[in-house]
Amino acid sequence: MAVITINREFGTHSQRVASKLGQKLGYEYIGDQLLAQVAKELNLSEHEAEAFRQTSKSSVLRLVDKYTCSIIQKVVDREHGCLDDKAYYEKTKELVEKLYINDKVIISGWGAQCILRDRPGTLHVKLIKDPELKITELMEQQHLSRKAAEHKINSDEEDFKAYLKEYFNADWNDARLYDLIVDMGKNSVPEAVDLICENLKHKLKA
């Protein structure tokens, strides 16, 4: 029994990998369900809580953002609701640690590789793909220009980088955060699942 954390670059089929992995191991896959729980416990809507995961903007910029300003009054009027970086981080950390105790889960994102770093019975996985391959695939799939594809990929990945930097002072690209890095340009979803299962087996034996 173990906990697997999965982090991903753009276009690496992470949901399919996590879902197939969960089916194979009999583990529960936790993705956006965690967002729903964070929102519930902070008395926010999921849309409001999602604003805190998009940390490529500074805290100050988020607070003057048109969308955020429109919800501040609602939050102020609530008895327990809060729109606060520290509360969001603490609640996310608490829930990830509860998942670790419950065991047999796959956690996608949320800085779980930092929260559970060096914990026994954990395997931290990152899914990557060659930058040029990500661009060309997105251009073909969505009929985008190269510039538009690059922008979409960079925007998506910058949020992950900024989230780890802001809440954990960690570098998303630091290989030391991961036990296994899988190149999804060279491996299919089933092959990635097999690689993760093999590494998990070895990790638990160690």
Residue environment code for 107-133, b if the CB has 16+ CB neighbours within 10 A, otherwise e: bbbbbbbbbbeeeeebbbbbbbbeeee
Report the chain's mean pLDDT, rounded to a whole number.
Answer: 82
The answer to whether the Cα torsion of 31, 183, 157, 147 is positive or negative is negative
**Do strands 180-183 and 122-128 pair parallel, antiparallel, or not at all (unpaired)?**
parallel
If we measure between CA atoms, which residue out of 108, 112, 142 comes closest to residue 127?
A: 108
CB burial of residue 58 (10 Å; 0-12, 13-18, 19+): exposed
If we measure between CA atoms, which residue out of 34, 22, 178 comes closest to residue 99?
A: 34
The least confident of 34-43, 114-123, 131-140, 143-152 is 34-43
CA–CA gap between residue 134 and residue 88 (Å, rounded): 31
CA–CA gap between residue 5 and residue 191 (Å, rounded): 18
Beta strand extents in the chain (DSSP E only): 3-8, 28-30, 105-108, 122-128, 180-183
Structure tokens at 81: 């609701």
**What are the tens digits of pLDDT across the range 76-133?**
444 444 445 677 788 888 888 988 988 899 998 889 999 999 899 999 999 999 999 9
Instruction: Please check the confidence at residue 27 and state whether its pLDDT lies above 90.
Output: yes
Task: Identify the structural domains of the chain with CATH numbers, from first to last.
Answer: 3-36+84-205 (3.40.50.300)
CA–CA gap between residue 83 and residue 65 (Å, rounded): 13
Share of the chain above pLDDT 70, in %: 76
The least confident of 96-105, 129-138, 172-181 is 96-105
The DSSP bridge partners found for residue 78 are none
CA–CA gap between residue 139 and residue 37 (Å, rounded): 35
